[in-house]
């Protein structure tokens, strides 16, 4: 099975395609939801936003360059899935998902990950970072009372060539 590559050469569309929101779109809780449907038991819509942050870390015990102090300009993609569309045809206002991601990564930005409480007992690998961000985004979405969409995955890149995806 061949993978589609975009003009940039990446397997994913440019980040601007993921995060573009062109108008303010708010709905009251009283507005009716449109009927929903599934295809083969799978939710029909997946929404993804992307952001980035910079941080340093050390993978202690690693035999190689990553065992020394170094940093990354991490890229993070968060995807949710949902079935129901609101009266405007949206599963979720992308601004809400962007806000949840921003809240999850702000405490990590321009920090040394080894010094942060979430990584006190686990190494700050890309895998553990993806799981941590997933948990924080899930908490933020719950606080924002998102009920009709489910957090599907978090993908973290240390470089353009290396991605880790966490799906519970």
Looking at 36, 46, 66, 83, which residue is catalytic? 66
Looking at 50, 57, 132, 158, which residue is catalytic? 158
List Cβ neighbours of 134 (8 Å cut-off, separation of 6 or more). 151, 153, 154, 166, 168
3 is catalytic: no
Pair 15, 50: CB distance under 8 Å: yes
* Nearest of 126, 51, 36 to residue 81 by alpha carbon: 36
Look up residue 125 and give its two tokens.
Answer: 């690998």
Looking at 60, 110, 139, 143, which residue is catalytic? 110
66 is catalytic: yes
70 is catalytic: no
Q: DSSP of 37-53, one letter per residue?
A: -EETTEESEEEEEEEEE
Task: Catalogue the active-site residues.
Answer: 66, 110, 158
């Amino acid at each position: 099975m061949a993978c589609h590559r975009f003009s940039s050469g990446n397997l994913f569309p440019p980040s601007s395609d993921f995060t573009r929101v062109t108008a303010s779109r708010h709905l009251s809780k009283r507005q009716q939801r449109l009927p929903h449907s599934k295809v083969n038991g799978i939710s029909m819509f997946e929404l993804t936003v992307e952001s980035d942050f910079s941080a340093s870390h050390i993978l202690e015990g690693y035999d190689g360059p990553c065992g020394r102090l170094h940093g990354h300009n991490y890229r993070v993609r968060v995807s949710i899935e949902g079935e129901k569309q609101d009266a405007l045809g949206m599963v979720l206002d992308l601004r809400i998902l962007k806000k949840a991601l921003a809240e999850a990564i702000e405490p990590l930005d321009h920090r040394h990950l080894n010094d942060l409480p979430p990584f006190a007992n686990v190494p700050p690998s890309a895998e553990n970072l993806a799981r941590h961000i997933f948990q924080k985004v899930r908490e933020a979405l719950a606080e924002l009372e998102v009920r009709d969409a489910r957090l599907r995955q978090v993908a973290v890149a240390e470089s353009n060539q290396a991605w880790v995806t966490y799906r519970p």
